Amino acid sequence: MAAFVLVHGTGHGGWCWRFIVPLLQAARHDVYTPTLTGLGASSHLLHELNRISLDTHVEDITNMLFYEDLSEVVLVGHSYGGMVITGVAAKKPQRLAQLFTSMLTCLSKGKMKSPSGHPIRRKSIALMLLQA
């Protein structure tokens, strides 16, 4: 089965996926829900805001892919997480199978390609789960 990495938006943490994780695990997928630096459970680091950026969050996820030794990953980004996964795809395309984003406002109708060439699909999370 697949390894899913679910990346939250700016107003959340990894906990926001708590209702989706059991559905994916029931389908025998491995699921990872990291919290980005300075957000959610690590919001105590907000005093470092001048040192936290999109690059920091891309590094959060690329480091997790490396240290967990993940490949053929289905990378899912919600809202701002869509920007993060696009950066991850540009840096570590060899570790990814698919990218999905939900509610990323800069996407238009249909499909868009990330800098790495991976197609990004705008779908509801529920639809994605049905097709996983």
pLDDT in tens, 65-104: 999 999 999 999 998 999 999 999 999 999 999 988 875 4
Catalytic residue among 79, 102, 114, 116: 79
Rounded CA separation 54/56 (Å): 5
Q: Percent of the chain beyond pLDDT 70? A: 77
* pLDDT in the model for residue 40: 78
Nearest C-alpha neighbor of 82 from the set 128, 51, 25, 123: 123
Any idea what DSSP says for residue 50? G
Return the amino acid letter for 23: L
Structure confidence at residue 111 (pLDDT):
46
User: How far does Cα 86 stand from its chain's mean position?
Assistant: 9
Query: Angle of helix 81-91 relative to helix 54-67, nearest 10 degrees?
Result: 60
Is 124 an annotated catalytic residue?
Answer: no
